[in-house]
Amino acid sequence: MISSFIIFLLIFVGIGLSSALKARKTSQDYYLASRSVAPWLVGLSAAATNNSGYMFIGAIGYTYVAGLSSIWLMIGWISGDFIASLYVHKRLREAAASSNASSYAGILSNWWGVNKDSSAHYTSLRRLAAIITLLFLLTYASAQLLAGSKALSVLFDWPLWAGSVTGAVLVALYCFAGGIRASIWTDAAQSIVMMFAMAIILLVAVSALGGAGNAWIQLNEIDGYMDWFPQDVALPGVAGGLLFAASWLFAGLSVIGQPHIMIRFVTLDKPSNMLTARLYYYLWFTSFYAMAIGVGLLARIYLTDTVNFDQELALPLMAQQLLPPALVGLVLAGIFAATMSTADSLILSCSSALSNDLLPRRFESTTIIKLSTLGITAVALALTFSSQQSVFALVILAWSGLASAFAPLLLILCMGQRPTQRTAIIMVLTGISVAILWRLAGLHDAVYEGMPGIISGLLAYAAISYVSNPVAVRRPAIK
């Protein structure tokens, strides 16, 4: 088991290190791969980064508890993600080219290009966006390292700290070697292993139960488990299901507020190839999520003690029960690959925010950039040791915070509007404040906090526009 796990990890590290052969010693290449990445690589990398350890650990654990009604999370999430992509991805790629920025915060704060406005005009917005990026992505990165360490602790009986340290060292190695190009290359390889690992455990689990028909019968014998609509929400039944899906549609729309995912689409070689990149992304995403729900449901049959174990360990425990040691190593490699594919993306985004947006001047020295990456990795690792929350809770907290801060502003920019720096800052602070207050009030159990957060950010812009009635300045239409 451990031998196959080590073999796959060495392959991933080798792929990441080999990217150094194409590296150029500039921040644009380190953080954006000189905007030269093929569409299939962009699609697979974005999908692997989006799904991450959250899908292997958090989503399967959630499905184990909630049952079939968790499908509404998938429907809402993918639908919201797709709707946003129709409008945002290509415009973001073009804005990145016109602004010549290397970070997500830099693109948002200089959307109209370096030749039209001085980037210094939006310095406050840029620094605010960078601070928010650092705070939430560091939380997110620690969740990914925690997800990987949980799996290793179950299968190899390692202490939690050992898995986190292993993940941090490996992520730092290929981030240090080739920047985002190393991340994208390893993401593509990891996405294949992730898909294969999930398919293996699903097929073996169904086969051991005598086929899909018998599995369905056994699942229906669990009281309320196969209800299509959630019962523990504000409005039970169909209304509750629709409200639940609507709130998670905003979770999918929240993808546009995630710097570590959206920067993948910025690395695309040509804006005209965005449709191809999105095709790879959504085919992979939908297939993988559907299999994750299937595994989560089947885990309820195999793991009947719903009280005395951590449901986020459902997948590795099932693998131990059903698979020979070599395949258990493969599944574990898939889980660990998922956590690394996101952790390295998060760490690079944090490093970019630090070196491009927060430090007194932008650094082109790759040595300084790589040192900042190592520093961010160390901080993320330290946060892992102090975290007492579940992977699912940590990911959703970071996800909703980033989305509420950035998604409203990005949508307004893509509409061709040009908010002042003051308006943009008010939008960012309003969205993130509402989301945090919504969670503190405990209302996130009924409605995902990103929904009121994003809506409040948009309403803040509408209110300011109504009061000040500025002359609208529209961006030329993209052909």
Looking at per-residue confidence, does 253 or 331 come out higher? 253
Distance of CA 318 to CAs 8, 159, 196, 308, Å?
20, 20, 16, 15
- Report pLDDT for 264: 93
Average pLDDT rounded to a whole number, residues 292-311:
83
- Report pLDDT for 115: 46
Beta bridge partners of 268: 37
How do the domains of the chain map onto residue ranges? 2-391
Q: Residues 2-391: name the CATH superfamily.
A: Sodium/glucose cotransporter (1.20.1730.10)
Contact yes or no for 225/217 (Cβ under 8 A): no
- Report pLDDT for 107: 92
- Indicate if the pLDDT at residue 140 is higher than 60: yes
58 CB-near residues (< 8 Å, 6+ apart): 147, 312, 390, 391, 392, 395
Give tens-digit pLDDT for 455-477: 999 999 999 988 886 554 444 44
C-alpha 40, offset from chain centre: 18
Residue matched to tokens 């949980």 = 150
The sign of the dihedral angle between the CA atoms of 206, 208, 213, 214 is negative
- Report pLDDT for 29: 85
**Cα 335 from Cα 323, distance rounded (Å):** 15
- The amino acid present at 379, given as its one-letter code, is V
Average pLDDT rounded to a whole number, residues 401-428:
93
Helix locations, 303-324, DSSP H? 314-322
On average, the pLDDT of the chain sits at 82
- Report pLDDT for 473: 44
Looking at per-residue confidence, does 196 or 396 come out higher? 196
The pLDDT-based confidence of 118 (bands split at 50, 70, 90) is very low
Residue matched to tokens 């360490």 = 149
Give tens-digit pLDDT for 166-182: 878 877 776 677 788 88
- Indicate if the pLDDT at residue 114 is higher than 60: no
Contact yes or no for 286/68 (Cβ under 8 A): no
**Nearest Cα residue to 418 out of 336, 475, 477:** 475
Which 8-state DSSP code applies to residue 478? P
- Indicate if the pLDDT at residue 417 is higher than 50: yes
Which 8-state DSSP code applies to residue 55? I
Contact yes or no for 184/277 (Cβ under 8 A): no
Which 8-state DSSP code applies to residue 356? I
The pLDDT-based confidence of 279 (bands split at 50, 70, 90) is very high
- The amino acid present at 412, given as its one-letter code, is I
- Indicate if the pLDDT at residue 50 is higher than 70: yes
**Cα 48 from Cα 50, distance rounded (Å):** 6
Q: What angle do CA 400, 337, 30 make, to 5 degrees?
A: 75
Give tens-digit pLDDT for 184-217: 888 888 788 778 888 888 999 999 999 999 999 9
**Cα 47 from Cα 284, distance rounded (Å):** 7
Average pLDDT rounded to a whole number, residues 336-341:
72
Which helix (H) or strand (E) segment is 277 a member of? helix 274-302
The pLDDT-based confidence of 119 (bands split at 50, 70, 90) is very low
Average pLDDT rounded to a whole number, residues 286-293:
91
- Indicate if the pLDDT at residue 163 is higher than 80: no
Question: Is 342 in a helix, a strand, or coil?
Answer: helix
Contact yes or no for 295/84 (Cβ under 8 A): no
The sign of the dihedral angle between the CA atoms of 77, 79, 83, 85 is positive
Contact yes or no for 147/57 (Cβ under 8 A): yes
